[in-house]
Amino acid sequence: MESFFWQVNDDYIKSLNMLSKKLRFAQVDPLLNASKALKDIKQELERLRKKALSKVSAYVIGIFSSMRKPGTNIQILQQNLLQKYRHLVLFLKEHGIEKYNDVCAAYVDKMNKVLSEDFRVYLEALESLKLDIGVSTDVIGYDANVVDLIPRGREQLRNHRFMFSLGERSNILKEIDQPGLVPCISEANSLKYPYEVIFRSLQKLLMDTASSEYIFIKAFFRDESMFYRVFEGPVAVIDENMKLTLANSHDAICLMLMICITKKHQLVMSNRRLPCLDTYLDKALIYLWPRFKTVFDMYIQSLYQCDAKMLWVDGTHPHHIVRCYMEFTASLIQLNAECGDGQVSSVT
């Protein structure tokens, strides 16, 4: 492998292109096929073809294997090395479809595993940065009075109300295409984030990785269907995490922000003119809207079950339930104006 690496230079590629032209000419010219001259060299051409197929496929698969080495910058490797040798893959595709399929299968297998592990590690790191804002009892009509809230401490009280008030959480929609979180830096500074911030970072990484991979596959293999096989693993990792997260999410503001983030990411991918994440982003919305409706219904049901008499404990200040309701309603109105498509109105 190493000795062959030094043989794959411009001279080797020129020789390979010459062989490709001769093989192509011998295949398509009926007069040449019937000639005695071709019969004299046909065996030699076939020998050269098989030898080239074997060497080229082994070389390219060897490059793919190096992608699993720790610290490998896959995008740099793709741009600086694989793009330079894309003619090797075109040779395989034209003159040895079985070898070409072997190379494609090797690439899909390697990248599926590498990217799946990368996203799994990133997700685990992001989970440690999550700020827990609310639980199932933290709904508008739940009687979280002084007895319940004071033992939680001021920070917990702030987080409890945080789930009803949009406030500065809306800033995430202005940072939609900014670089994602770097977990080690956030941990070093003891920073925690509402889940929508983590969600945006995850999808930002997914968008950038998918965009780079889609462009590369389309240029190098000329078979964009390979992209979807490569990303089966990474998307499965993200889907599993999303289902688990949504099942335990009772923060309607977060869910609505996640919907807005996904819609804006759809626009980002549309502006890039890349369709590779259309299915994923559509599916994300299919997951998010029903969960939002479920949590929203929990909020409304809690109001129905609320004892109206307790709202008048202190006639000089609005009860915290009234404040939560007002803040939540204002937040939904703002988010609906930001990126609503009528579904919030239908839910409400």
What mean pLDDT comes out for the span 8-28? Answer: 82
The answer to whether position 76 is within a domain reads: yes
The answer to whether position 319 is within a domain reads: yes
Number of domains in the chain: 2
CA geometry: angle 8, 93, 236, nearest 5 deg: 100
Which of 54, 79, 95 is a domain's end point? 95
Residues 174 and 285 reside in one and the same domain = yes
Residues 210 and 276 reside in one and the same domain = yes
What mean pLDDT comes out for the span 111-129? Answer: 95
Residues 90 and 143 reside in one and the same domain = no
- Amino acid identity of residue 9, one-letter, is N
Tell me how far apart the alpha carbons of residues 347 and 286 are, in angstroms, rounded to a whole number: 15
DSSP 227-241: HHHHTHHHHHHHHHH
Containing structural domain, residue 89: 10-95
Instruction: Provide the sign of the torsion angle of the four alpha carbons 149, 154, 159, 162, taken in this order.
Output: positive
Residues 207 and 271 reside in one and the same domain = yes
For residue 134, what pLDDT band results from cuts at 50, 70 and 90?
Answer: low
pLDDT digits (tens, 9 = 90+) for 174-189: 889 899 999 999 999 9
How many C-beta atoms lie closer than 10 Å to residue 299's C-beta? 20
Q: Does residue 306 sit in helix, strand or coil?
A: coil
What integer best gives the mean pLDDT of the chain? 81
Nearest to 259 by CA among 279, 238, 281: 281
Provide, for the chain, the percentages of residues in helix, strand and coil under a 3-state DSSP scheme, each rounded to the nearest 5: 75, 0, 20
Q: DSSP assignment, residue 78?
A: I
Higher per-residue confidence, 89 vs 33: 89
pLDDT recorded at residue 36: 61
What mean pLDDT comes out for the span 42-54? Answer: 87
pLDDT recorded at residue 150: 26
Residues 284 and 137 reside in one and the same domain = yes
Yes or no: say if 242 and 195 are a contact pair by the CB < 8 Å rule: no
Residues 62 and 201 reside in one and the same domain = no
Integer CA distances (angstroms), 174 to 142, 160, 255, 290, 330, in order: 33, 24, 17, 25, 19
| Helix-helix angle 97-127:232-247, to 10 degrees | 30
pLDDT digits (tens, 9 = 90+) for 312-345: 655 666 666 666 666 777 677 777 777 766 666 5
Q: Does residue 130 sit in helix, strand or coil?
A: strand
Is pLDDT above 80 for 127? yes
Nearest to 173 by CA among 53, 107, 260: 260
Residues 47 and 137 reside in one and the same domain = no
The answer to whether position 177 is within a domain reads: yes
Q: Match 């939002």 to its residue by tokens.
A: 292
- What is the pTM (predicted TM-score) of this model? 0.81
The answer to whether position 100 is within a domain reads: no
Q: Match 């933290």 to its residue by tokens.
A: 138
Is pLDDT above 90 for 124? yes
Which of 95, 111, 140 is a domain's end point? 95
Residues 162 and 265 reside in one and the same domain = yes
Higher per-residue confidence, 222 vs 42: 222
Residues 176 and 275 reside in one and the same domain = yes
CA dihedral 111, 112, 117, 119 (to 10 degrees): 100
pLDDT recorded at residue 139: 47
The answer to whether position 321 is within a domain reads: yes
Residues 85 and 164 reside in one and the same domain = no
What mean pLDDT comes out for the span 302-317? Answer: 64
Residues 140 and 279 reside in one and the same domain = yes
Tell me how far apart the alpha carbons of residues 99 and 129 are, in angstroms, rounded to a whole number: 46
The answer to whether position 103 is within a domain reads: no
Is pLDDT above 60 for 57? yes
Residues 244 and 319 reside in one and the same domain = yes
